Structure 1
Amino acid sequence: MIRTSLLTATMLTCAAGAHAQETLTVGGYGGSFETLMKELIIPQFEEEHDVTIAFVPGNSTENLARLQAQKSAQELDVVILDDGPMYQADALGFCAPLEESEVKGELYDLAKISDNATGIGFVATGFAYNTEWFEREGWEPPSSWEDLTDEKYSGILSIPPISNTYGLHTLVMMARMNGGGEEDIDPGFTAMADEVAPNVLVFEPSSGRMSELFQSEEIAVSIWGSGRVKSLADTGFPATFAYPEEGAVALMLAACPVVDSNVPEVSQQFIDYLLDPEIQVRIADAMGAGPVNKNSELPPELAESLPYGDKIDDLLAVDWDVINPARQEWTARFAREVER
């Protein structure tokens, strides 16, 4: 009797082991993105692929550092980062090659970061402004990067520092507007220090604090992301995003399969899942990131505010291969010369 019970228990244990679910570990943004993933995206994938997903929250800097710290034994199977850090992760050899698939053939060219990494959502860097304030003053919406130098914005303008991607985009655009660019950044520093900084109330890195500055009417305008503006407007605040006539800069949410994953097939499947037209709409609705899949169809209220359709053609890209090696030096210089 005892032997029979032991044999039965052993058989059940072996059967359970044979059907044990694989675990896919995904590193991505915390906050609202983590909520989106856990409520609207992960459950369906787990059910369809008989897999368990462990989500590791962290900002791009934290998850890039996690990849570096775990170089010899990676914990993550898929990582989701801003495009700048993703270029670094790819250059450092942390991203495995992407497998060809039908859905990858549906992407905008701008979303194709490399053979190892892909964009999963577009955010535009441009102007956020308080529509009621502008109407009160009789002002036209901001329409050019040069508007940052307009004295009427003195003391009511905020821009993130260049440790934040929105601030970095601003520096690059001011360099381009003044005859330079990524490889000649000096004109950008001069313009920021002499013409833009005098208008800036605070170089604010925190998105939460930026929202508070708008809501308390300490600022009327900022350089920010289209997704952040959507989130603020969703609270009922009269915030609108404006695309500069020279072009808004693309900030991409990006994903790559991590090297040496023990579930490489599932990692590839999960990235393709994120690129599916329907999932792209969910990401757009929850995160304010325009779809990278040309076949995604947004409802009118989202299509109006997010990078989508014809707006994609007007987005500008920055050269991360030039920026990343210089970024630490630029950040120290920005604090010294512009934020002083």
Structure 2
Amino acid sequence: MTEKKPSLVTRRDFGRLALGASTIIAAPAILTRPVRAQIAPGSRLVVGIWGGAQERITRQFIAEPLMERYGVEIEYVLGGTPERRARAYQERGRPSFDVIYLNIFESRQAVKDGVTQAARDIENSDDLYELAKLGGYGVAFNAVTPVYDATMVDAPMTSWADFWRPDLAGKIAWPTYPGAQGTAALLMAARLNGGDEYNIDPGFKAVAELKPFAAFQGSQAQLYGMFDADQVAASAEFGSFTQKYADTQNPDIMVSKPSEGMPVAMNVACITEGTENQALAEAWVSLHLSEACQRAYAEEIYYGPTIKSLELPPELAAKCVYGEEDVANLIDFDWEHVIAQQGAWSSRFNREIQS
């Protein structure tokens, strides 16, 4: 990958949130297109995806319509991204998966490595934001952002620079590294101080200035427990999960949309190279890009839609990455370079920040 500055436009697998879905939907238009005659009854599509809400939503809005219309079988392989990514690489060219879900940087690398297919024109893909066409088909935007307890700060956090405010001194739960949250926070610290992913020194220096931390947080559950116990005032976390937590458990918690933008995270549906179910895999992805499925993601887990045409009510839109302005404020880094530096940066983090 050619090194370049990040342009405006990821920690562990996304959280698992419960979903109860009962909406009955009509057969989507995609299922009536003549090209789908290629789908043979009895075909089995193997889909690797996270469990919880994402499994339930895709069962209702994708798997069930496909099974009813074509008499096909859908097999789910549930679990974390590392496991299915490793399996997909082991099976390169002779995949057992037909569709796998990866994060933003893993999806791009998988295309380069010939494990999955680059995006091409399929039903609903012309409605995708350009950022969501990289590495496959982006199905959900998320972002890492400052989150805070409004009762423990002097003013709302509207900037990444607010972490360095006097009223937050000693009250911050900094995210561990490596991991999406810790990576995003370190990269933003570098950008605030004249650096970037190619010049990370300013980031380490700035984060070190925040010591001592109230705590280090290595999971959403850990952070939310600390918020509930009034042990910390702020951290960097996925906005969608934190907004759901705030709405359902702790209304004192606020999710910022900082002026400098937010590092993007994105769930990507990837069709494997060598799949014997190309048409069925494309039909699966097309339904994931449908307004019905994208709306369910937004309503149930506050994942931002990757299609431009979806209209959300203002109250819901405010809780998601939504619309041209929000998408333009997502920061897309050179993830290949960032991952290549993970070992070195992890050693520095342990030595300079967490020690």
2:119 maps to 98
Distance 2:133 2:212 in 1: 37
1:242 maps to 256
Distance 1:331 1:76 in 2: 32
Distance 2:106 2:271 in 1: 15
Gaps of 5+ in 1: 1-18
1:175 maps to 190
Distance 1:188 1:299 in 2: 38
**Aligned AA for 1:185?**
I
Could you state the TM-score of these two structures normalised by the residue count of structure 1?
Answer: 0.86
Percent identity, aligned pairs only, is 29
1:293-304 → structure 2 map (5 Å cutoff): 293-304=307-318
In structure 2, which of residues 236, 252, 268 is the aligned counterpart of residue 254 of structure 1? 268
Deviation at residue 40 of structure 1 after TM alignment: 4.9
| Contact 1:124–1:251 (8 Å) recurs in 2 | yes
CA 218–46 in structure 1, closer or farther in 2 if over 3 Å, else same: farther
Which deviations, in whole Å up to 9, do the C-alpha atoms of 1:268-309 show, x marking residues without a partner? 111111111221111112222110100111122210111111
Q: Is 1:233 matched with 2:246?
A: yes
Distance 2:58 2:229 in 1: 31
CA 21–108 in structure 1, closer or farther in 2 if over 3 Å, else same: same
Distance 2:61 2:212 in 1: 41
Q: Is 1:269 matched with 2:283?
A: yes
| Contact 2:92–2:273 (8 Å) recurs in 1 | no
2:139 maps to 120
| Contact 1:29–1:81 (8 Å) recurs in 2 | no
CA 36–202 in structure 1, closer or farther in 2 if over 3 Å, else same: farther
In structure 2, which of residues 322, 340, 343 is the aligned counterpart of residue 328 of structure 1? 343
1:54 maps to 75
Deviation at residue 95 of structure 1 after TM alignment: 0.7
Aligned residues: 315
Distance 2:333 2:55 in 1: 27
Q: Is 1:211 matched with 2:224?
A: yes
**Aligned AA for 1:42?**
A
1:130 maps to 149
**If you compute each CA radius of gyration, which structure gives the higher value, 1 or 2?**
1
Q: Is 1:317 matched with 2:338?
A: no
Deviation at residue 106 of structure 1 after TM alignment: 0.9
Greater length-normalized contact order (CA 8 Å, ≥ 6 residues apart): 2
Which deviations, in whole Å up to 9, do the C-alpha atoms of 1:32-80 show, x marking residues without a partner? 3233333554323332343221111122222222223333642211111
Distance 1:202 1:188 in 2: 19
Deviates more, 1:58-67 or 1:222-231: 58-67
| Contact 1:81–1:253 (8 Å) recurs in 2 | yes
What SS does structure 2 have at the residue aligned with 1:251?
strand
Gaps of 5+ in 2: 1-39
1:84 maps to 105
| Contact 1:153–1:199 (8 Å) recurs in 2 | no
| Contact 1:123–1:251 (8 Å) recurs in 2 | yes
Deviates more, 1:271-280 or 1:156-165: 156-165
1:161 maps to 176
What SS does structure 2 have at the residue aligned with 1:26?
strand
What SS does structure 2 have at the residue aligned with 1:54?
strand
Could you state the TM-score of these two structures normalised by the residue count of structure 2?
Answer: 0.82
CA 221–291 in structure 1, closer or farther in 2 if over 3 Å, else same: same
CA 220–235 in structure 1, closer or farther in 2 if over 3 Å, else same: same
Distance 2:98 2:187 in 1: 33
